Structure 1
Amino acid sequence: MMKKLTKTIKTEWPPPKQPPIEMYDDFTMFGRMPLDKNLWYFQEKYLGNMKSTPITKEEIQFKITARALRWKMSTYGIVEEDLLQAALIKYSQGVQDKIGLDFGSSDPWITSIALLNGASKMYMFDYIKTVSLDDEIETLTQLQLYRIWHQQLTIMDENKLRESSLTRSKKGRKNHSLMFDFAISFSSIEHSGLGRFGDPLNPYGDLEAMAQMWCVMKPGAILFLNVPFHQNGSSLVWNAHRIYGYNRLQHLTANWKILQEFNSCQLTNGLMCDGGFAVLWVLERV
């Protein structure tokens, strides 16, 4: 699973406008995640590219201030930002003075909220390469994420994983004896494997991405997870994203313990309770 991060896999570009016939049943779970008739097609080749502007201390401070004042700070809505804030506050013991992973975002709004809520250091991982000029934030490529996992596999037992932290050698080179105390993935996993961002087509890309996060997190670590959800069931909106019903969600959260669900229906006192309301799950790595 993790070794896939080290390989350059030839991808089809532009991505197909329909799921390939040989993968159709796997993408649609043999009809249990039906293809939405309203296609939403994208060509956004992020994989391997470099973001044009670096992350700066000033940008992070602005976003932290915006969140403190409850100003909109992302491409999502205030309610979605409130969901994450509420979950981080409720599970603050797993965040404060801890090292976190922002999985699947090149915009540091998630990382900023984590730092606002007491995280000591954040690492950002995404398809697109990003440079950080802020000492509290580091960015990871696919190869670097693999190395973190591989070093743990070879030199640390389960007890040492609980005590591991990022250290530096005398020469100043990073020694990736690191496992994450918590992770946040917000509206990211649902895209994996659909080819939208230049990634290889993979019907199980979302499940593999969850497994990759599991591999670099400490036992007992907390994952704050958001994906599109609908009470009426799962669907595939090609090639934009997956929408999760309970039948796909149970596979997505395998090997995790669900601690709590935060949703927009609760947060807005019943004002946002349609079938596709926003949901954030708090999961524990088991």
Structure 2
Amino acid sequence: MFQRSIILQILNKRFILCVLVALSTLFIIHKYCYSTIEMNLRSRMITDVKKDTKLATNGYLNHQPKDIAPCGEVCSYGGTVPPNTDQICPWPQIHKHFNCENIMKRMAYRNQVIIDPPPTYPPDYLLDEFTMFGEMPILDLHYHYENWTDKVKYFPRELINDIIKKMKRGENINIYLHGICVQHTLQRYIQYIKDKRGFVVGTDLPWFEGMLLGFGARNITTLEYANLVFESPEIESYTPYDFADKWLKGGIEQYDFGVTFSSIEHSGLGRYTDPLNPYGDLESMAQSWCMVKPGGMFAVGVEDSLNSSNYILWNAHRVYGPKRLAQLTANWKVLEKALCADIYNHNFIVLRKPL
């Protein structure tokens, strides 16, 4: 009996050992096969991209549809620093070659891939470009998907008139706490605004439009992904696609000035029904550069890191330090950098397009 018990114990141990060996073998085979399949798929994907697309050598552009216009130096982190750069600006004022026809063709392009809902982290093949190759780390602050293309917003004349009255009384007309700061900054550049044509990039509540009309602007064009209806005859609105279509057909002249606040830092992160684009903010600034006349003004409000760092709160917005700001303001001359501090610490940067 005793010997039989020992034999059974040995057999049980051997059985368990055999089962463990078999499971380990299956796991190794599965992992090897999965890795092989994944590598094959990745190599096929990279090969297909290189074969189908010849826009640039970086990962983002190689994944762009082949019928979209090339982005060129806009979608890069290079550029040259011209001699005798103004030392007032706390970051290098770099120069890039901008091809406005291609820039506006890309703005008009409607067939880009939109990930719905947006990913909680950038795809691997876009990670280097989103992070400026390690210079702009990604932190988590995920926002729910907000489909703005299906929205229609109506702004009655009374609302614009009320904003103008409040502005002239010195009241804050912004949903943030920095409307007065923005107003005081633009007051110093009123010669670019009064009796001139201008545009606004991105609108939730039309406080900027009201402020600019209060400064005496002749008329305002607003660009927004949502469909906006303004009762005020001095304001017209377009989606970016429709605007660029009309621009390319010669139906729109360059503007005397433009403004944007807390808008372009969201571009390309997928939060507002837009395609993922590591250079979304840079493309938006290049579009504005093409829209402004030589000698005209553009003012942009983006969040300041306050410590010279650059990072992305994915997928909410970018936070800017000198390295990203140098790319953002390429080809512009920086006239002023005002810190309109509130809970978001926005920089309000006034720029001029060289003659």
TM-score interval (norm. to shorter): 0.7 to 0.9
Q: Tell me how far 1:134 sits from its aligned partner.
A: 0.7
Amino acid at match of 1:236: I
Q: In the aligned structure 1, how far is the partner of 2:293 from the partner of 2:247?
A: 11
Instruction: Indicate which of 239, 255, 260 corresponds to 1:180.
Output: 255
Larger helix fraction of residues: 2
- Structure 2 SS opposite 1:227: strand
Q: Could you say what secondary structure the match of 2:154 adopts?
A: coil
The offset of 1:151, in angstroms, is: 4.1
Task: Indicate whether 1:242 and 2:342 are aligned.
Answer: no
Kindly indicate whether residue 167 of structure 2 is the aligned counterpart of residue 67 of structure 1: yes
Give, in whole Å, the separation in 1 of the partners of 2:290 and 2:246: 9
CA distance in 2, matches of 1:213, 1:42: 28
Work out which of the two has the higher radius of gyration on C-alpha atoms and give 1 or 2.
2
* SS, match of residue 31 in structure 1: coil
Q: Which runs of 5+ in 2 are unaligned?
A: 1-102
CA contact (8 A) 2:304 2:319 kept: yes
Alignment of 1:261 with 2:337, yes or no, is yes
Tell me if the contact between 2:298 and 2:350 (Cα under 8 Å) persists in the aligned partners.
yes
Flag structure 1 segments of 5+ consecutive residues without an equivalent.
Answer: 153-175, 266-271
Question: Which SS does the other structure have where 1:16 is aligned?
Answer: coil
Deviation at 1:149, TM superposition (A): 3.4
Equivalences for 1:1-286 in 2 at 5 Å? Answer: 1-8=103-110, 9-36=112-139, 38-46=140-148, 48-51=149-152, 53-77=153-177, 80-152=178-250, 176-232=251-307, 233-264=309-340, 277-286=345-354
Name the SS for the 1:83 alignment partner. helix
* Distance in 1 of aligned mates of 2:238 and 2:324: 28
**How far off is 1:281 after superposition?**
0.7
Report SS of the residue matched to 2:171.
coil
Matching residue's letter, 1:264: C
Q: 2:108·2:245 contact (CA, 8 Å) conserved in 1? A: no
Q: Number of residues paired by the alignment?
A: 250
Q: Once the two structures are aligned, what percentage of the paired residues are identical?
A: 37
User: What letter corresponds to residue 2 of structure 1 in structure 2?
Assistant: M
Q: Is contact 2:192–2:296 with CA below 8 Å preserved after alignment? A: yes
Which has the bigger relative contact order, CA under 8 A and spacing at least 6?
1
Corresponding letter in the other structure for 2:130: F
Q: Deviations over 1:195-237 (max 9, x none)?
A: 0001000000000000111111111110011100113211100
Equivalence for 2:29: none
Distance in 2 of aligned mates of 1:277 and 1:39: 17
Q: Deviation of residue 69 (structure 1)?
A: 2.7
Alignment check: 8 A CA contact 2:143 2:316 kept: yes
**d(CA) in 1 for partners of 2:305 and 2:113?**
33
**RMSD over aligned Cα atoms:** 1.8
The answer to whether the 8 A contact 2:171-2:180 is kept is: no
Compute the TM-score of the two structures, normalised by the length of structure 1. Answer: 0.82
